[in-house]
Amino acid sequence: MPPVTEHAHQVEMSRRPHVPRTASVGIVACGALAREIRAVIEANHFAHVTVRYLPAKLHNSPTHIPAALDEVLGEMARECTTLFAAYGDCGTAGGIDKVLKKHGATRLAGAHCYEFFTGSDTFNALHDAEPGTFYLTDYLARQFDTLVCKPLGLDRHPELRDAYFGNYTRLLYLAQSTDAKLEEKARLAARRLGLRFEMVNTGLATLESALSRVISSSRSQEMVS
């Protein structure tokens, strides 16, 4: 995943009012998924869910993600019966999974957001068909200048483009929405990188299914107890 910076609304961890320990779900999520997670929760009217967002800039140093997760999961365990991380492995080489095992938590399937938005089988097929692919999500398309161009110095030295992207052949926009303005941003990003543009609309179905399973599991635990 390209270097990530942070915006003010993501720097602050999202907190909801204290909910009873009975059948409550605690979700620790990457700030880059804030829009998508809020959309799924609101569309499904999920109740008794507490969400905390960690800064997306942690992707700049993924070795720090497990410790941040460990701290927040430890806090949420006091009020939530079910714990879930809206993260893939995210470059931690299994570090996240070790923390989740400690807290009895689970996470999104896959190595990164590209994979869990498409589903593993689809992502693997896309990757195998064309390994030289640069991926964008809605979040990355929205913040392309901040997350890609500026950190790589392309805004100041556009001649570096081929040194970074000379081995890439396409930009694949994995769209979670049907926002024409975001699609145009993604197309512009492809032109700036000199790559062929392609687009796959993933929607939020995979993310929605994962959250639904977690919340259903929590409700089942309440019924059993």
Which residues touch 124 (CB under 8 Å, ≥6 apart)? none
| Nearest Cα residue to 84 out of 41, 137, 123 | 41
Helix (H, G, I), strand (E, B) or coil at 108: coil
pTM value is 0.81
Cβ atoms < 10 Å from Cβ of 187: 15
Name the one residue in this structure whose structure tokens are 């019924």.
223
What domains lie within the chain, and their CATH numbers? Answer: 8-112+205-224 (3.40.50), 114-201 (no CATH)
pLDDT tens for the chain, 225 residues: list them: 555 444 434 434 444 444 444 559 999 999 999 999 999 999 999 989 999 999 988 988 899 999 999 999 999 999 999 999 999 999 999 999 999 999 999 999 989 989 989 999 999 999 999 999 999 999 999 999 998 999 999 999 999 999 999 999 999 999 999 999 999 999 999 999 999 999 999 999 999 999 999 998 776 665 545
* Residue 61 CB contacts under 8 Å (≥ 6 apart), including other chains: none
Round to whole Å and give the CA distance between 91 and 1: 9
| C-alpha span between 193 and 224 (Å, rounded) | 55
Longest dimension (CA), the chain: 63
Residue 94 neighbours by CB distance under 10 Å: 9
**For residue 42, how many other CB atoms are within 10 A of its CB?**
9
136 DSSP β-pair partners: 173
**Rounded Cα gap, residues 100 and 66, in angstroms:** 9
